[in-house]
Each structure stands twice: as structure tokens, then as C-alpha cells.
Amino acid sequence: MDSENLNPLNPTGQEDTINLRHYWHVILERRWLILTAFISVFVLSLIYLFKATPIHRATARLQIDPESENILRVEGITLARQEQDYLQTQYKNLLSRTLIRSVFNQLGLNDDDRYRRSLDQVSALVGDLQVAPIRLSRLVDISAEHPDKIQAARIANSWATNFMQRNLDQKMTNALDVVRRLEDEIVKQREDLQKAEQKLQGYAQTNKTVSFEEGENIVLQGLKQFQEHYARAKAEAEAASNVVQQVDRFLVAGVPLDTLPQVAENVAIQQLKKDLATAESKFAAIKTRYLHKHPTYLEAEKEVLSLQNSLTNQAKILLEALRLKAQMTRTEEETLWKLKQDQERAQLDLRELRVGYDILKRESQEKEQLYKAVLAKINEMELTARNKINNISVVYPADVPLRPVKPRVMLTIFLGVIGGLGVALGLAFFVNYLDDSIKSQDDVETYLRLPFLGYVPNIKTNSVVERDLQAHLHPQSNAAEGFRTIRATISLSQKPETFRTLAITSTIPSEGKSLVASNLAIVTAQTGLKTLLIDADLRRPSVHKAFRLHSPTGLSSFLMDELNEIAPVVHKTEVPNLEVICCGSVPSNPSELIGSKRMAEFLELVRSRYDRILLDCPPISAVSDPLIIAAMSDGVLFVTKFNKIRREHARKSIQRVQNAGINIVGVVLNDIDFEGKDSYYYSYYYYQNRYYASHYRSAGERSKNKAAEEGKGVGRN
């Protein structure tokens, strides 16, 4: 039967749905971590408030008008800068070190405790100053912060006053000085410009030249082309000559032809060298085997000599080609040089005239540009000098502040609360993100993609008998009801009769597979079905401890051919319809016994005698035994312990089973503490069980009272 028949899943839809209850469970689970983180952040904010020095802020407001606002406008002359750029420049000047140093010296802040210990006292004062432009206006607020409120007001007012005075002084001084010097210069520049223009006009008329521009000179364009061709030919000729000279030097030095760089890079030479190396290697081997008169020896020697001659001849051919190329490039260079000389002579006449024209034209242009610049500057400075009104004014001075601005108590407390909650919740969800263990039905269905069969509550006892026989000894307990739920889930699936033989396993040891196997066998037997529980863990058997059986014979005895019948190893229990087969003695080769033919025969034999068979198997990740047993069974029931197994570990174990083609009936989540640390996950489940448990206790008490009354009546009779 397919796994989907038990519980059709839609993992994608579950992952995309925001489950607020899940977030609430995370908060409850990590509540102590959240509380600790929140208190830590909030206490830090309170410590900051307690230790922080009160800071006062005094604010003055300035108005910065454009420099051209009170200046006469002359047509064609733009005196004002872009207003926004000008304002931004003034904002930067407000924090200039020169201005701040003048404020520092004026107020004598060297003795101020706030700045006395600073290595850079000016930078320390700048850190207490703020410039805040008011949007869509020419107003700007300048603020000074200081522990002393009177000192804060003094710093802000001194800052504003110094800025205004420096602006006015700089404007007046610069303007007047520049105007005086430029007035003397403009007279000379006007005379020089007139003389330059007269010379340029007279030169053109005297030489009767139409145009001296390079774009219209055909002779000059032809000369440029010949110069380019000649330069390229000369470079090629020099390069070829250098190569030939280098080769000749190598030859004089006795360097072999085939090792010259110009020769060695040739493809044919490289191939001949490879062939020669191969032939020499072959000839060397022949020398060791044959005498020098042997035909094989002579043939190999001849091949080596032939390749050496070919290599030498090919190298000589390459050298001759290099020399020929050098001669041809030199000839081409000489030809182009003669053509270039002819074109240069044709250009000389025009060039002589052009030299004088360019000199005069350049002189005229320079005079004109200089004259215009001086004239514009004079006009600007004259107008600036006439404007004696400062374009920067104080709208209102800084008053002594009434209360400190730092620390802001309510804001700090609010941020401490918000920040504490943010840090605490973020830390909780981060820790929860790192925790990828299986804790709920959603984890089973979403990550393992298997049907969920039910929960098994934590059984608070250290007794193996109490735990593994919980459904028999305490039939009204929450744990017993959980096993009945698992039994019902399996029996209500499609074709439940196909699950006559179930193998029960887990990912790792100590997840409670034996607990589930024993109690599931008990609740199955309680329905009237003849049930057999088999301890198939031949390595660490535990069923005999729960049922208090100490027989040395068991499943291992049958598998080792010590018995031919199962009757000697079958033990009846105090649970009606339930029989048990223990492991017996622990064998030395459990895997071989489990995978033997006797195991298959054993299962066929017990199938014919019992309605339901449950096999307690070893963990999947430990050994291969459960895979073999599961392959012989009708299905596998997978047990995982709450908050212990990582999702990826469990998924890989399940994948091993599924890759073997074994059907997994579903997953049981074991060892959940509904009344303790795990209650925030399954509170609804716990309260339902408490309701029915109280009902069972009431019914039991009524039965006892009724029996007691009947006993009293019989005694009276």
C-alpha cells in the first residue's frame, strides 16, 4: 500500500502558509531566552540613562541671502551664482576649522573641561556643533551642545557673530584690492589687443593668402600620409636589420643555427628537432644492441645524419629569408624617404607663410581673451565693492536652554523596550532556526513526507516493565490512549489486512522503538487478534526484560537450526492473545542470520499461526538488519523521539528504506512531555487526554463503590 493512502499531504501548501501558532510555540519554547535577552537590553538602556551626562542645546537662526540680491544688475552680466550651490558652500564654511578656531579662542575654551583633554580641541568643538538648513528657505539653524547651558548659548552666538563678520570682511577686502589692480591692467590690455588685430590683418593682405587652415591644405595632408608610410617602413627596416645583426652575432659566437630564437620558433624547425630527437633516441638504443657495421645500425645512423642535414639546411634557408627581408624593407624605406622629401619641399613655402600667420593670430586671440576677462572682473568687483550690506544676518540669537536634550529618557526607555523585544525575539527565532529536530506532526509530514500515525506521551518511570507494558498495566493512562490511537490509525487505513507483519525501527538507538513495539502489540492483542511480538534485535535485545522472560532459547536458536519448531521459543504473556518470541542468546553473526533462508521460513511459519506479527528491529542508521527484516515484512513503522533527531538525519534513514522499495506505514512521535517542557506544542492534545483520563478515573471509582455496596449487601444477607 502507498504511503499517501494513510494521509494525503500537500507539503508545498503547508510551507507557504504562515502558521501563527507555530510562532507562538517558538516564543513559548524559548521564553526564558527571550526574557533574559529583553531584561539585558532594557537594563543596559537604564544604565545608559543613569550614567549619561545631561547635554543642553542652544540654537541660533541665520538667513543667508544670495550675494547679488543687493547688487545692481548690468545687462549681459550674470553676477549671482546658482543659489543652491552658494548655500551649500556657506553650510560647509560654517564648519571650517579657521572659523571654529576663532570661536574657540574668543571664548577661551582652552580651560573648558569638555575640550581640555582632547588632542584636537577644534575637532572636539566641531563635534558639538550642528548645521541644520531649513528646507525650501534661506534659513539655517546652527546649534551648539554643551553640559553647561550658558556655555552652549555663548558658543552658538559667538559662532554666528564670527561667521557674519568674516563674510563681510572678506568681501570688502578682496573686492577693493582686486579693483585697484585691474584698473591699471585694463588700459594696457586694450592697447595690446588693437595692435595685434592690425598686424594680423596686414599680414594676410600683404601675402594674398586665401587660407592657412590645416583642414584646407592639400599639400599638408599629402605630407602627413608620406610621413606615416615612411615611419612605418623605417621601423620595419630597422627591426629586420636588428634581427639579422643579432643572428650574425650569434653565429660569430658559435651558437648553433637551430638554437637561434629566430630559427627555433619556426614550425618546420621544431618538427625536425622532434624527429631528430626521436631518431637519436632510437639510434642510442640500437647502439647498445648492434655493432656499427650491422645494417640496422647503419640505417639508424644514416637517418640521424639525414635529419641533422635537413635541420641545418632549413636553418640556412630561414637565415637567407631574414636577410632578404631586411634588404627589401631597407629599399622600401629609401624610396619612401625620397617621396617624403619632395613633399616636404612643396610644403616649406606654404609653411614659411603659415608660421608668421599663426604667431599673429595666436597673439591676437590671447590679447582678446585676456582683455575680456579683465573687463568682466573689473565690472564684478566694482559692483561687489559698492555692496556694503552683509548678505548674512541673524534672525534670532541663541537663548539659554531650559532643559537638556540628551539623554532623552522616554525615547531611550522606548527604544530599550523595542530593542529588547527585537533582540530577544530575533535571538529566539535564530536559535529555533538552528534547531532542526523533529517535534510535531507538521515536521513529519513536511520534511519526512510520511503519514503521521500518532503521539506517545512521556512515561514518567524508570522501570522497563512499567514503560513497555504501559498499555496493559495502566490501560486508562494517556500513553495507553496514544497507542490505541496508533492502532486505530493503522486499522482505518485502506486495506489494513495487508499489514499483518510490521517491522518497527528508528533512526538511532534509545528512540523508544521497543516501547512502541511492546505496547502496540498489547493494544492489538486487546482487540481479540492473536498477536505475536518478536524481538528481532539480535544485537541488543530488550523484549525479554519487559516481559521478564529469561529463556536461553529464542529466535537466534531457530535461525541457527538448533530448533525445527517455534513452539519451544514462544512464550505466553499475562496479556490475553499476546505471545512473545525473545532473541535468546546473542549470536556472533546477526546480519547473516537475519538475511538467511531460515528467517524467511520463520516468518512464513508464524504468519500461518497469528493474526498480527510485530518485529522489534535495530535502528536503521546503526546496522543493515532492519532493512532485511523490513523487506520480508508487510510494512515498516518508523519511531522518532521528540526533539532529538535532526530532520536531515531522519530523512536520510527513511530514504534508505524507501530506496530499497520497502513500504513505510508511517511515523510515531515518541516521548513528549505534555505536562512539562513540551506542553506548548501539544497543549490541546494534553487537555483532551486529561478530560478522558478523568472520565476513566470517575468510572473506575463508581465501579469500585458499586462493588463495595454489593459486597455489603451480600454480607447482610
Averaged over 341-346, what is the pLDDT?
A: 66
Alpha helices by DSSP H, listed for 208-266, are 218-252, 261-264
Burial of 428 per CB tally in 10 Å (0-12, 13-18, 19+): buried
DSSP assignment letter at 69: T
The rounded distance, in Å, linking the Cα atoms of 493 and 510 is: 28
Cell digits for 647? 530532520
Asked if residues 663 and 1 have their Cβ atoms less than 8 Å apart, the reply is yes
Return the amino acid letter for 345. Answer: R
Please tell me the predicted confidence (pLDDT) of residue 166. 86
Do strands 56-64 and 392-396 pair parallel, antiparallel, or not at all (unpaired)? antiparallel
Residue owning grid cell 458499586:
706
The rounded distance, in Å, linking the Cα atoms of 458 and 133 is: 68
| Residue 586, CA distances (Å) to 282, 535, 548 in order | 70, 11, 17
Cell digits for 455? 503521539
Higher pLDDT: 418 or 341? It is 418
Higher pLDDT: 25 or 684? It is 25
Half-sphere exposure of 505 (CA within 13 A, CB side): 32
Higher pLDDT: 467 or 205? It is 467
What number of other Cβ atoms are within 10 A of residue 459's Cβ?
A: 22
Averaged over 99-108, what is the pLDDT?
A: 88
Cβ neighbours for 156, distance < 8 A, ≥ 6 positions apart: 58, 59, 60, 142, 143, 144, 397, 398
* Three-point CA angle 153, 158, 160, nearest 5°: 100
The rounded distance, in Å, linking the Cα atoms of 248 and 242 is: 10
Please tell me the predicted confidence (pLDDT) of residue 128. 87
Please tell me the predicted confidence (pLDDT) of residue 441. 81
Domain boundaries, given as residue ranges, for the chain: 214-386, 441-681, 682-717
Cell digits for 526? 486487546
Residue owning grid cell 527513511:
654
- The least confident of 214-223, 410-419, 550-559, 570-579 is 214-223
In 96-156, the DSSP E strands lie at 129-133, 139-146
Most confident of 192-201, 245-254, 685-694, 705-714: 192-201
Most confident of 139-143, 216-220, 550-554: 139-143
Checking if the pLDDT of 655 tops 90, the result is no
Checking if the pLDDT of 432 tops 70, the result is yes
Cβ neighbours for 571, distance < 8 A, ≥ 6 positions apart: 547, 549, 551, 579, 580, 581, 582
Banded model confidence at residue 2, pLDDT cuts 50, 70, 90: very low
The rounded distance, in Å, linking the Cα atoms of 636 and 634 is: 7
Checking if the pLDDT of 216 tops 70, the result is no
Best CA proximity match to 412, nearest among 708, 30, 49: 49
Cell digits for 32? 526564558
* Three-point CA angle 678, 684, 685, nearest 5°: 75
Give tens-digit pLDDT for 560-619. Answer: 888 888 888 899 999 999 999 998 888 888 888 888 899 998 999 999 899 999 999 999
Averaged over 530-552, what is the pLDDT?
A: 87
In 528-632, the DSSP E strands lie at 531-535, 570-572, 578-581, 612-616
Averaged over 37-43, what is the pLDDT?
A: 90
In percent, the amount of the chain with pLDDT more than 70 equals 70
Best CA proximity match to 469, nearest among 380, 545, 561: 545
Give tens-digit pLDDT for 277-316. Answer: 777 777 777 777 777 777 777 777 777 777 667 766 666 6
Cell digits for 416? 530599550
- The least confident of 253-257, 489-493, 641-645 is 253-257
Mark 87-110 as b/e (b = at least 16 C-beta within 10 Å): beebeeebeeeebbebbbeebebe
Please tell me the predicted confidence (pLDDT) of residue 74. 40
Cell digits for 154? 555663548
Burial of 478 per CB tally in 10 Å (0-12, 13-18, 19+): buried
- The least confident of 51-55, 93-97, 159-163 is 51-55
CATH class as words, domain 441-681: alpha beta
Checking if the pLDDT of 109 tops 80, the result is yes
Banded model confidence at residue 60, pLDDT cuts 50, 70, 90: very high
Give tens-digit pLDDT for 500-525. Answer: 899 999 888 888 888 999 999 999 99
Is the CATH number of domain 214-386 3.30.420?
A: no
Q: Which secondary structure element, helix H or strand E, spans residue 532, and what is its range?
A: strand 531-535
Please tell me the predicted confidence (pLDDT) of residue 240. 64
Averaged over 271-275, what is the pLDDT?
A: 69
pTM for the model: 0.49
In percent, the amount of the chain with pLDDT more than 90 equals 11
| Residue 635, CA distances (Å) to 9, 100, 341, 606 in order | 19, 86, 104, 16
Give tens-digit pLDDT for 633-649. Answer: 888 999 998 877 787 88
